[in-house]
Structure 1
Amino acid sequence: MKGPLSTRRSLALFLPVWLMLGLVLAALVVLATGAGWTNALLFALPMTMVYAFAAGFSAYYLCRAYPLSQKKVGSIVLVLGLAALVSGALWMGAGLAFNGVLGALEVEWAGLEMPQALKAMIFGLGVILYGLSAIAHYLAIEFDRARLAERRELESKLMAQEAELRMLRTQIDPHFLFNSLNSISALTSIDPARAREMTLKVADFFRHTLGLKAHTQATVDDEITLVRDFLSIEKVRFGARLSVEYDIDDEARTCLLPPMILQPLVENAVKHGIGGLTGGGLVSIIARRDASLLRISVENDVDEDQDTSLPGAGIGLANVQQRLATAYGHEGGVRHARRDNKYRVELTLPARTITET
């Protein structure tokens, strides 16, 4: 904020308010002296507009020099009080001089009688208007400061989300890359075409993840595409042991969600679920839009004797919980449970599409 008239909006508010105050002063002059409205308006409007700019800029810079958060209340009141008294006196003196100029015109519609009551009224009104101007500037300054703090908080939040996404990328199981490269190496001698296809899938997967940004959102379709790429690579390694089932509601496909929110859940399902089953198992991904809510679940088979609370198994889940809490607050949630030989994680978040956002 560089001044009280630094924007068109402030100017649009400033001028009408002071013009109305000029009309009020003209009415008071008419009541105090019995002068005609032409005489009162010719005196009051120029006086008020001159005082508007003089008092407005003076109060603004004093408010900037004595911020509420850094100066004592007593010193602020003292400085602004003295400034208001001086401004009121100068305004009254300027009024006497201006009325003298109008009176020198020697025409009936210009000039006023200046009794002591009118002089005192102009002085008192000048003091009050200066004080009100200072209050208005303090409110504007505090509003700007609050808006700047909110903007900084939002920027910090976005930076934190970006850091979380970078951390999530580093948490993608390194063994996934190593195993993929080993599988590619094995395929090159027996099935070169398939090895090339798998190489392209690995490259596309990592290119996609590196291009994601935390402050943008992906659609459910985008997330499912990323999951398909991931699972198609894992399927080369697991072969027939890994079965995948998708059940995506059409209304859910265009809903928005944080990028890479499903990948750690699917990775856990493969690593801690299917990876522990000799005969393999099924990973099911279900997405439904339920009115204002989007529900997505990842379910996988697990060994009946497997401990799903193994160290490291909950890192991806905790990351997802934290990201949903950051993005949606109490509106987002994660539930996970094991029933029989099935382990299920369900995400609940607001159902919003690009057009609805």
Structure 2
Amino acid sequence: MQGPFSTRRGAGLYLLAWLLLAIVFAGLIVAASGAAWTDGLLFTVPVTLLYACATGFSSYYLCRAYPLNERSAISVLLVFAVAAVVASLAWTALCIGWNHACAAIAMSAPLQAAIFGLGVILYALCAVAHYLAFEFQRARAAERRELEAALTSQDAELRMLRTQIDPHFLFNSLNSISALTSIDPARARDMTLQLADFFRHSLGLEASRKVTLEAEAAMAMHFVAIEKVRFGARLNIEQALDAGALDCLLPPMILQPLIENAIKHGIAHLTGGGTIRIAARRAGSILKIVVENDIDNDPPAAASHGIGLANVRQRLAATYGNEASIHWTREAHQFRVALSLPFHTTERQACA
């Protein structure tokens, strides 16, 4: 069933509103004719509720047939004027017939005219209410489409940013394997196997789906294992992940670019190697991650951070907006990257 009776709650509220109108109508009848309240209610309640049903369906389907954005104002006004007059005439006739049957009040000509005018007004109000409901539904639909478009755009942006990571990382890894093949084939083979294992684990990670910090840290260690084949004892890693932070969800492959950046622009320039330190802790509703690495006190003039840090910043902005941030600082012998993002443990919290 459509119209005002499409749901039980809607039908109940609609009839309750008309019942209140019937009581007000009875009060006017009592004041105008001097009838008792019981007679006034006996007269108004049945005819008003019946008029409510007829008017509700009639105005609903006319509003559907004459939408404001597709019909001219003159045609809409003309159609509803005719419909209101016809409905009010029928209601006035019904009131007269019902009054003859129950002999509740004295039906004078002025009272009949007042009933007719009230019927026109009620029909018009009902039509306006339907148009407002339609406009509200259309606004809600437009808002929903806009939200879906924004989510689709965000998902596409996240996928694009994610696709920057794999080719960039693969390019650097293949260069390392190429360099090892001529000086240490065994290590080149080991690095190739480690690289295949890393990509096998990362294939199931979707750009828009989040993973726990524990799983993300495990993926980061796969990447470190690949690089340790090349750097050996020169590359050291330290982790300090609070147990309370391991369940937090975050975008996949968010740590790998930071570690790659630390190796390429930090450890690789140190003759004696260095250490990368990863720490994570929960601070209320915020997850704080810090990645630090040793650096050369006098780095090459052309040194840069490539796309890694910029990629992480863009992904955080696309996923969390202003709720997440990334900052990096450089000291005498250390480079430090600090991430701050909302602490969510379920996808529902992240979507909210």
How high is the TM-score relative to the length of structure 2? Answer: 0.81
Q: Does 1:28 align with 2:23?
A: no
Q: Which residue of 1 aligns with 2:225?
A: 232
Cα deviation, residue 177, structure 1 = 5.6
Q: Flag the 1:52–1:161 CA change in 2: closer, same or farther, 3 A.
A: same
Q: Does 1:345 align with 2:337?
A: yes
CA distance in 2, matches of 1:184, 1:4: 76
Q: For structure 2, list consecutive stretches of 5 or more residues without a partner in the other structure.
A: none
Q: Does 1:305 align with 2:303?
A: no
Q: Report 1:320-335 matches (<5 A).
A: 320-335=312-327
Q: Flag the 1:196–1:4 CA change in 2: closer, same or farther, 3 A.
A: same
Cα deviation, residue 52, structure 1 = 1.6
Q: Flag the 1:17–1:206 CA change in 2: closer, same or farther, 3 A.
A: same
Cα deviation, residue 90, structure 1 = 3.1
Task: Deviation per CA, 1:191-215: give whole Å up to 9, x if none.
Answer: 8996797366324432343xx251x
Q: What amino acid is aligned across from residue 206 of structure 1 in structure 2? A: S
Q: For structure 1, list consecutive stretches of 5 or more residues without a partner in the other structure.
A: 104-109
Of 156, 164, 178, 2:174 maps to 178
How high is the TM-score relative to the length of structure 1? Answer: 0.80
CA contact (8 A) 2:158 2:318 kept: no
SS at structure 1 position matched to 2:230: helix
Cα deviation, residue 72, structure 1 = 6.0
Cα deviation, residue 355, structure 1 = 10
Cα deviation, residue 3, structure 1 = 2.9
Q: What amino acid is aligned across from residue 213 of structure 2 in structure 1? A: V
Q: What amino acid is aligned across from residue 175 of structure 1 in structure 2? A: F
CA distance in 1, matches of 2:288, 2:57: 56
Task: Deviation per CA, 1:162-221: give whole Å up to 9, x if none.
Answer: 2233223321223256368769989x9858996797366324432343xx251x433222
Q: Flag the 1:349–1:276 CA change in 2: closer, same or farther, 3 A.
A: same
SS at structure 1 position matched to 2:5: coil
CA distance in 1, matches of 2:180, 2:64: 67
Cα deviation, residue 314, structure 1 = 4.8
CA contact (8 A) 1:184 1:198 kept: no
CA distance in 2, matches of 1:115, 1:48: 19
| RMSD over aligned Cα atoms | 3.6
Q: Which moved more, 1:273-282 or 1:245-254?
A: 273-282
Q: Which moved more, 1:247-256 or 1:301-310?
A: 301-310
Cα deviation, residue 299, structure 1 = 2.3
Q: Report 1:23-102 matches (<5 A).
A: 23-69=23-69, 76=76, 79-100=79-100, 102=101
Paired residues, number: 345
Q: Does 1:268 align with 2:264?
A: no
Cα deviation, residue 4, structure 1 = 2.9
Q: Percent of pairs identical after alignment?
A: 48
Q: Which residue of 2 aligns with 1:205?
A: 201
